[in-house]
Amino acid sequence: MRKKRRIQWTGAIIFILMLGLLMRLAEIQLFFTESFSKLDINLIQESVKQRTEEVVISDGRGEFLDRNGQALLTKEQPAVILFPFLQYDLPRLQQTASILEMEEDELKKQLTETKKPLILKDDITKKKLKDINDMKYSGVYGVYMKEKDKKRLALHTLGFTSENPELLRKRYPDKKELSIRTEIGTFGLESTFDEFLLPEQDTKLLYHVDGRGNPLFGMDVKYTAEAHSFYPLQVQTTIDEDMQAEMEKVLKEQGVEKGGAVLLDIESSSVLAMASTPNVTSKNRHEARNYMLTAIAPGSVFKTAVLAAAIEKNLDQPQTMYDCRKNLYGEPEGKQAVLNLTDSFSESCNYTFATLAERLIQTDDQIIEKTAAKLGLLDRAGWEGDVYHKQHFKQFDREETGSVWGDKRDKHVKKAIAQTAIGQKNVKTTPLQIANMMATIARGGERKEVKIAEKVLYQNGTTMLSFQNKRPEGGSIDRYTAQKLQKFLRQVVTSDKGTGRRFQDLPYDVAGKSGTAQTGSQDKKGNPLYHKWFAGYFPVEKPKYALVVVHLDETSGRAKTNDAFYDIVKKVNEIEKKQT
């Protein structure tokens, strides 16, 4: 009796398992062949791909262009594609080897050793491509393959793509036609402009094979390509490829291991070059961070905002003297002398600005953050607005906002006020915000949002949409304040004791401000680490460029901020001469 029950239970379990297996097979082969699992996988398409050999000539994704219309991420590489079955057609094999100037045996050997299409790129000329295509043989093609440039520029800014099926379906729930293998933008402009750059169709050569890799339907190779003249789209950025390349080169040569630089066109407040270090690799992509969009302590660069507030409150009297022999907290230190406001700014006297900040708060306890906001140091600096059918579109990916006070009670604490006055405590700004502040001052007080994309173009070159220059909401400093700030910033460079005197012999007249912020951390040897800045604009008489360089987490003696700033300005001058 017990044996009979065990047999019955065993049979029932086997029946249930078989039923479950049959139901699973039915799901796969009958019911959900085009939308399997939560990722909506098209099983029919995927099964065909398993029996298909293909060579992707272009993945169909849109492209980023520099301001002159040159591709920034990819390059076209001449190549000859040979399908393995060419080895069986001896006359064609011999003709192909002759055109490619190869030994017939060597070419046949390479074809024999591979089951996949053979791609040859070395020494491929336009004439060889023409002669190959004149053969009109389905197993041999001469093409220009679109490949990612191995020496890519502006990697932190332009960003990168990756396969992420879950994010793909979440971001584009209505685009069921997209394969789960479609790469999408996950960082930088690749992410913010992803919807515009998604591929409509790739360009490729393909043929079907059996389990051994032999042609399944004869030697028929198909060419598939997007026939639409409007797609893929192209995003024309404001980046100058030459300036971007030189900026990255300077940062590397000067040893700026963590930090970066950003260069703006003052008239349009657009990014000409932006670089962040350390560089992004395949191993550290998950840690990628663009420091030019990261809010960090600006140090004495923030004194520019305190000075602007003092000018607007008429506290910039030239006869007022400050005892700069005292430190930030009014204690004797003896490093400097008794200075007026102009010299205090050019020599970056902490005591002067701690004193000014305290007086300002006594007149208006919101004056410092109000002025910082007028200079664009609190809100995001990048272009934002409604575009196409997207609301609140942001050009910059993961751009942070700035801050002045962490706790309003700090406004009543003398030491907290002093630390805030010199850009520490809870003061945080991004290098992009600082660059835009310098551009605002150079323009006479007019604020603008920073652009890095000028327009989106159809494939045929016509414009789909343009990003117009925008003024952000909120007030701005008046022209009188801006003009006085210009004089103070210029004095930083022209003064024999100014912190920017290094730049006196540059081909452009420079105005700007240095900054050093303590991080509270130390290196392995116990040396304190600092964020070192220099921010400015040039030429002074007719301002054209705003530049910020920052070197993060370095000891005071090792920071290469001024050296990098100096070299970048020289490179900009050289490039400008070549381009005019």
CA distance 6 to 29: 34
CA distance 460 to 224: 19
- Residues 6 or more apart whose CB falls under 8 angstroms from that of 315 comprise 356, 359, 360
With contact defined as beta carbons under 8 Å apart, do 456 and 235 qualify?
A: yes
Pick the catalytic residue from 58, 138, 269, 300.
300
Instruction: Give the position of tokens 């050997």.
Output: 109
Q: What torsion, rounded to 10 degrees, do the Cα atoms 366, 372, 373, 374 define?
A: 110
Q: Any idea what the Cα angle at residue 112 is, between residues 106 and 113, rounded to 5°?
A: 95
Q: Are strands 234-237 and 63-65 parallel, antiparallel or unpaired?
A: parallel
Cα distance between residue 22 and residue 3, in whole Å: 28
How far, in Å, CA of 459 to CA of 189, rounded? Answer: 19
Let me know if 73 is exposed, middle or buried by CB neighbors in 10 A (0-12, 13-18, 19+): buried
Distance CA 509, CA 490 (A): 8
Strand partners, 455: 236, 466
User: CA 67, 68, 74 angle in degrees (round to 5)?
Assistant: 85
Contacts of 423 (CB under 8 A, 6+ apart): 297, 298, 299, 300, 301, 302, 303, 429, 515, 517
Q: How far apart are CA 97 and CA 140, in angstroms?
A: 11
330's CB contacts (< 8 A; 6+ apart) are 351, 354
Contact (Cβ atoms closer than 8 angstroms) between residue 395 and residue 381: no
Cβ atoms within 10 Å of 170's Cβ, excluding its own: 9
C-alpha closest to that of 129 among 203, 79, 58: 79
Cα–Cα distance, 261 to 72 (Å, whole number): 19
**Of 237, 232, 182, nearest in space to 65 by CA:** 237
| Number of neighbours of residue 302 by Cβ within 10 angstroms | 31
464: Cβ contacts below 8 Å, ≥ 6 apart: 233, 455, 456, 457, 458
Catalytic residue flag (residue 300): yes
Catalytic residues: 300
